[in-house]
Amino acid sequence: MKIVLASASPRRRELLAALGVEYTVVVSGVEEKVTETEPHRVVEQLSAQKAGDVLRKLLADDPMWDGAEDLLVIGADTIVAFDGRILGKPEDEEDAAKMLRLLSGRTHQVYTGVTLCHHSRGETRQHTFYECTQVHFFPMTREEISWYISTGEPLDKAGAYGIQGLGSRFVRAIEGDYSNVVGLPVAGLYQELKTLKIL
């Protein structure tokens, strides 16, 4: 089976490699369109758009996939949410500071939606699921927030922090899958692949 990851994220590449499978990367160029409002439905919708776009691209480029070959495309999308409100990447340093003040001393959620598009013998099965991890932050002082923003790390991260980087010092605890917060729920993905009899 050929496995394709529909993501440019280096963190997702590392996490998928932890499953011990060989895969290639084809980045989706689809224009994301969100019609859902609930965080878990948003990530499911976006992951499905990415996986579907890459599958269509591969089938168009190489007709062999309509034969007997097996093809699995994995799409994923991750968001940070607080009290049902989705926190994207901050627009600037001031926006990052607002997000960090919001998260300080509180609990928020990280959702990752994953879509599996399995194409075999001319037929495609699509399966979408999501994981949610609760993340608890320590209270952050103004000085800590200013310092963290000065590192530049929060500016390209959803929710204005990276748990795998300097932002880890502010995380008091998590409930759920750590890898889900990084960008791909590895254990959950493996269980879904087993259930679907793909791996």
Condensed to tens digits (0 to 9), the pLDDT of residues 22-38 reads: 999 999 989 989 999 99
End-to-end CA distance of the chain: 9
Residue 74 reports pLDDT greater than 70: yes
pLDDT at residue number 63: 64
- Mutual angle of helices 10-17 and 186-195, in 10-degree steps: 60
pLDDT at residue number 198: 83
CA 103 to each of CA 15, 16, 41, 82, 176: distance values in angstroms, whole numbers, following the listed order: 26, 28, 22, 8, 18
- pTM for the whole thing? 0.93
Instruction: Kindly state the average pLDDT of the residues 187-192.
Output: 96
Please report, to the nearest 10 degrees, the dihedral formed by the alpha carbons of residues 23, 159, 53, 120 taken in order: 40
* Average pLDDT of the chain to the nearest whole number: 93
Catalytic residues: 77
Which residues neighbour 91 within 8 Å (Cβ) at sequence distance 6 or greater?
none
Q: What is the CA radius of gyration of the chain?
A: 18
Amino acid at 70: D
Q: Dump pLDDT digits (tens) for 125-141.
A: 999 999 999 999 999 99
Strands 123-137 and 171-175, bridge-based pairing: antiparallel
Residue 66 reports pLDDT greater than 70: no
Nearest to 101 by CA among 161, 30, 179, 17: 161
pLDDT at residue number 120: 87
